[in-house]
Amino acid sequence: MHFEPKAVTLKDGRTLVLKNQEPENALEMLEYMRQTSAETENMVRYPEEVEISEEEIQRKKEMLKENQEDKRSLMLGAFLDGKLVGNAGIQSAGERFKMKHRASFGIAIIKEAWGLGIGGMLLDILLEEAPGMGYEMVELGVCEGNERGISLYNKKGFIQCGRIPKAFKLKDGTYRDEILMYRMVKKTME
């Protein structure tokens, strides 16, 4: 889905630009994914699992192009001083009629940009856009122990609705549960 770029002023006075992730940003996006995966164990991947090759860059370009053309997907990048520091998106949890009202949400912010309110801004925009994309509910999974994320989601009205035990296995052999959360974004007709 197309999103008109938006400039916002951060707590520290700097300007953040929120805009669609463009296909030409594919390499930067992969490097960002590798960085965020190295900075926290709350991501679903380890940094070495983010392949950076010509083939993978091309795949990412195609995915970003398809995302822009899909009226039911929105992926936003947060750019600070021209650098990608955050990314968040929603997409359909399923295209069958019984699931079409549900959107899946994902987000990551690089560590140097934590605490600036970027995650909340991205989430607010996506929650605002979701009803116009045909969604009534936004859902997410968050790694047990990700207190910053859980706090943000609680603050934004998400409700914990379940848990998948041992959903994430870390390199040291320990496990973390995945906490399932959701939020309604549009009243349903009853």
Q: Is the pTM of this model over 0.85?
A: yes
Q: What is the average pLDDT value for the chain, to the nearest integer?
A: 94
pLDDT above 70: percentage of residues in the chain: 98
Which tens digit of pLDDT belongs to each residue from 17-47? 999 999 999 999 999 999 999 999 999 999 9
pLDDT of residue 188: 46
User: Strands 74-80 and 83-92, how do they pair?
Assistant: antiparallel
With residue 54 as reference, give the H or E element that holds it.
helix 54-69
Domain ranges of the chain: 6-184
Indicate the SS3 state at residue 165: strand
- Helix axes 26-39 and 54-69, enclosed angle (nearest 10): 100
pLDDT of residue 187: 56
Which tens digit of pLDDT belongs to each residue from 150-179? 999 999 999 999 999 999 999 999 999 999
**Which band of pLDDT confidence, cut at 50, 70 and 90, is reported for residue 11?**
confident
Q: Is the pLDDT of residue 189 over 80?
A: no
Tokens encoding 128 = 């605002």
Which tens digit of pLDDT belongs to each residue from 87-145? 999 999 999 999 999 999 999 999 999 999 999 999 999 999 999 999 999 999 999 99
Distance CA 171, CA 135 (A): 36
DSSP 130: T
Half-sphere exposure of 184 (CA within 13 A, CB side): 4
**Which band of pLDDT confidence, cut at 50, 70 and 90, is reported for residue 149?**
very high
Tokens encoding 131 = 């009803």
Inter-residue contact 70 to 55 (CB < 8 Å): no
Fold of the CATH domain 6-184: Aminopeptidase (3.40.630)
